[in-house]
């Protein structure tokens, strides 16, 4: 029996992580689960999200029998990782913003964190800065609009450069800022548009680090078929190109693990 790697996000943002995983293991079996019925996570109360995430992923693990779980969502990782690790018997790999490499490589030591409103002020950001950010100044901006822009882009609606610029302005207006951490897995999907608006800024994300972690934790991740599952109703034909580009040729809409 093929045991896929279960990759979870609130929507399509986790495809940026799938892309990094494909560079490491092109033929690995992946079950991609998007809780699109509850998108976006970044505007919902933590208590509701915790119950939703733990319940959905517990049932999904029973139904799909994965070899490991990648929580490819910063918001879900900050809220639910401890509970998931207590509940599940498989390895659970979370998503951590690229604070360490940003602090280590910034020339100006002035960096930005671009994340969802639910992530940007989490205590664990302070913990990361305390560990790695000595002498570094961190500026933060929470954007739910960029999540929706990324979702739309994968459905063929190109992002408006003026709207992208507006969302970046709280960070790009900071004198000397040279690095922006993409603290939501949706945001790397907009990288070309972000770089066009802010060509002098480096954008860092966590995709490659997650792929390395999977390789270390799940060395026996097997080859096999892959599929995407959406809890909401989706136009699967509209998503076929984006999903196919990261090796997810099959798509199931309005999926429920029960």
C-alpha closest to that of 17 among 179, 140, 141, 187: 187
Residue 42 labelled as part of a binding site: yes
185 is in an annotated binding site: yes
Is 227 one of the catalytic residues? no
Question: Cβ-count burial of 135 within 10 angstroms (0-12 exposed, 13-18 middle, 19+ buried)?
Answer: exposed
Active-site residue, from 61, 67, 103, 184: 184
- Is residue 103 part of the annotated active site? The answer reads no
Ligand-binding annotation for 10, yes or no, is yes
The response to whether 200 counts as a known ligand-binding position is no
Structure tokens at 202: 């480096």
Asked whether the beta carbons of 185 and 95 are under 8 A apart, the reply is yes
Six token digits for residue 87: 């509940």
Report whether 141 belongs to an annotated binding site.
no
Cβ neighbours around 130 below 10 Å, total: 9
Catalytic pick among 67, 73, 103, 227: 73
137 marked among binding-site residues: no
Say whether 25 counts as a known binding-site residue. Answer: no
Known binding residue 58? Answer is no
Measured CA distances, 228 to 7, 29, 64, 134, 217 (Å): 9, 11, 12, 41, 23
Positions marked catalytic: 73, 184
Residues annotated in a binding site? 9-10, 41-42, 74-75, 185-186
Which residues carry a binding-site annotation for substrate?
9-10, 41-42, 74-75, 185-186
């Amino acid at each position: 029996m093929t045991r896929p790697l279960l990759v979870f996000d609130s929507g399509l943002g986790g495809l940026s992580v799938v892309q990094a995983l494909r560079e490491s293991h092109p033929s690995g079996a992946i079950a991609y689960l998007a809780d699109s019925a509850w998108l976006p996570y970044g505007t919902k109360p933590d208590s509701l999200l915790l119950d939703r995430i733990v319940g959905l992923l517990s049932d999904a693990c029973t139904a799909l029998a994965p070899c490991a779980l990648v929580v490819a969502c910063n918001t879900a990782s900050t809220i639910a990782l401890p509970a998931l690790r207590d509940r599940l018997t498989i390895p659970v790999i979370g998503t951590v913003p690229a604070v360490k490499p940003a602090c280590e490589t910034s020339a100006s030591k002035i960096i930005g964190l671009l994340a969802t409103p639910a992530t940007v002020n989490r205590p664990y950001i302070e913990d990361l800065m305390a560990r790695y950010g000595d002498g570094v100044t961190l500026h933060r901006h929470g954007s739910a609009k960029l999540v929706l822009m990324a979702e739309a882009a994968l459905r063929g609606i190109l992002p408006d450069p003026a709207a992208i610029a507006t969302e970046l302005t709280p960070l790009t207006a900071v004198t000397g800022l040279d690095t922006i951490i993409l603290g939501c897995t949706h945001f790397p999907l907009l990288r070309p548009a972000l770089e066009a608006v802010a060509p002098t800024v480096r954008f860092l994300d966590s995709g490659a680090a997650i792929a390395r972690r999977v390789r270390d934790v799940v060395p026996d991740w097997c080859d096999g078929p892959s599929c995407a599952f959406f809890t909401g109703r989706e136009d699967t034909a509209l998503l076929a190109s984006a999903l196919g580009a990261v090796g997810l040729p099959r798509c199931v809409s309005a999926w429920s693990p029960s």
